Chain A
Amino acid sequence: MAVHPNTFHLTIASVGETRFDGAAVSATLPGTSGQFTVLAHHEPFVTTLKGGTIVVRLNDGEHKEFAIENGVLECSRSRVVVLL
């Protein structure tokens, strides 16, 4: 399956389980210094997250929500990893 040019690979993992692993169009996250949204080809960065909800928009227009307590986001050129 060809990767859609406007999607990126997103992984949301806690120690026990992987809560999300797949392509996403955008993800809105509660950062410690404010809410932000990641799109494809975001500049590489690392940030800490606070409690709140992660909203992931998928390719087919659907939404997925994940409640989190805290976490770390790592964004590299090809993928985004959220550790809870």
Chain B
Amino acid sequence: MANLKSIKSKILSYKKTGTVTHAMEAVSAVKMRKAQGRALSTRAYARAALRVLSHIAGSVDVERHPLVHKDPSKDMTCIVLVTSDKGLAGSLNAAVLRKVQEFIREHSLSPQNLEFICLGRRGHEFAQRNGYRVLQYETNITDGILELEVRDITNRITALQISGDARKVYMAYTNFRSTFEQEPIMRQILPLRRQILQEIVEGIVPEKGKYSALADSDLRTGAIGGAAAYTMEPDATSVLAEVLPKLANVAVFHALLETKASEHSARMVAMKNATDKARDMAKGLTRTFNKVRQAAITREVSEITSGIEAMR
């Protein structure tokens, strides 16, 4: 029978753990809401950029632009892997990494024709462990990340494409569907396809929760505009050169925000489970504690009474 003191200290430590995880849960809940709101604010921009593109698409040959044009001569793939820096977020990172591994198997890629750009520590560890070349590694990306900071990363990607080192660029990240549901996603970023952008724009609104009411109607109509005859100034090529990188940038930026929202909600759920579990354990242990205490009292009482009996 365990002694009273050790049980008591165990109960205390469970309670303390519960308090900590509860606090982490609350923090993640707030951060999640913020991240969700930010992810949504990119929507207006993405939609407008897409509309500009669809207008231009009517008047120029978009396909010839290096960001869109696919050069099959070079068989290089680059994966932008977005993960969190820290754990304690359930199966969030594991799910993305599994998706990447599946992708690698499917396309039979090897360290010779696959490179990584890692945003987040977990993804970097994965790439290094498996011996892949890491082109760029960013860690400590804050929740309040600005679009300007993302431009660095996007420029890196688009430069690869434009310099003729043509390759396919994919992004692996976590899509935020709802607080309880995040799905790992592999999405092609380059060569840029209108369909991909449309998917991104539509995917911006979460399915459930606070912002879900904004889905549908205005999104669909906004995305496809009539291709009126536009005057391009100074010329179509330079306009495209301006718009397409912006679109690529929106795609990357959005994936980052999406991952942030997922990370926080996954962490919130994981911490909630931990809090509940800690409470359960403390409850069970308190019960054991009371039983042991009661047994000790009973034993002492019977010892005393039997002692008295013996003295008579």
Q: Which residues of A contact B (CB under 8 A)?
A: 11, 13-18, 31-33, 43-48, 70-72, 74, 76-77, 81, 83
Contacts and interface: CB of A to CB of B under 8 A. Distances in A.
B250 A15 contact: yes
A14 B45 contact: yes
Interface centre among A15, A46, A70 (most CB of B within 10 A): A15
Contacts, number: 79
A52 B233 CA distance: 17
A43 to B, nearest CB: 6
A21 to B, nearest CB: 8
B233 A46 contact: yes
A84 to B, nearest CB: 9
A72 B225 CA distance: 17
Contact of B234 (A32, A70, A83): A32
Nearest to A70: B242
A77 B230 CA distance: 11
Given A46-B56, A46-B239, A83-B45, 8 more contacts: A15-B250, A32-B238, A33-B234, A44-B231, A46-B230, A46-B232, A48-B239, A81-B51
A16 B44 contact: no
B52 A72 contact: yes
B147 A16 contact: yes
B147 A47 contact: no
Contact of A16 (B49, B146, B229): B146
A71 B253 CA distance: 17
17 contacts: A16-B42, A16-B146, A32-B233, A32-B234, A44-B229, A45-B232, A45-B233, A46-B52, A46-B56, A46-B231, A46-B239, A48-B242, A70-B242, A72-B239, A72-B243, A81-B51, A81-B52
B246 interface: yes
Interface in B213-235: 225, 228-234
A81 B48 contact: yes
Nearest to B38: A16
Given A13-B45, A13-B48, A45-B231, A72 B246 contact: yes
Given A46-B55, A46-B56, A72 B230 contact: no
Contact of A83 (B49, B146, B232): B49
B226 to A, nearest CB: 9
A15 B48 contact: no
B266 to A, nearest CB: 24
Given A72-B52, A76-B55, A15 B233 contact: no
Contacts of B233: 31-33, 45-48
B290 interface: no
